[in-house]
Amino acid sequence: AQTVTQSQPEMSVQEAETVTLSCTYDTSENNYYLFWYKQPPSRQMILVIRQEAYKQQNATENRFSVNFQKAAKSFSLKISDSQLGDTAMYFCAFMKTGGGADGLTFGKGTHLIIQP
């Protein structure tokens, strides 16, 4: 079984600042995917960014990027030029290769607050 740990229950930064959310995971699998999901106060879970474990290049999506360290089993999310709309719960998640059959394993989440 795999576990996902997010060590920062809550973070608060000023608008336009850069913030990094931490995530570590434990697995014996070699092929897997990692995700960051955002859950705003409206509760709709949205995929922010994903990373395939076999890819060495870190994924980026506009202001969002990850630092994937496979050997260290670390998968942090960096948000640049943070905006008020980035305020949300952020969940790090793991999925074994092979699709959704085993489901996503989530961390406990980090509540990110962007202050004006």
Partner 1 sequence: KAGVTQTPRYLIKTRGQQVTLSCSPISGHRSVSWYQQTPGQGLQFLFEYFSETQRNKGNFPGRFSGRQFSNSRSEMNVSTLELGDSALYLCASSLELAGAYPNEQFFGPGTRLTVL
* Binding status of residue 41 toward partner 1 by CB under 8 A: no
For the chain, the maximum distance between any two Cα atoms, rounded to a whole number of angstroms, is: 42
**CB of 113 within 8 A of CB of 87?**
yes
**Rounded to whole angstroms, how far apart are CA atoms 59 and 91?**
16
Helix (H) or strand (E) holding 16: none
* Binding status of residue 105 toward partner 1 by CB under 8 A: yes
By beta-carbon proximity to partner 1, the closer residue of 85 and 100 is 100
Residue span binding partner 1 (CB under 8 A) among the ranges 10-18, 20-28, 36-44, 69-77:
36-44
* Binding status of residue 101 toward partner 1 by CB under 8 A: yes
Give me the residues that bind partner 1 (CB under 8 A), please: 33, 37, 42-47, 50, 52, 91, 95, 97, 99-109
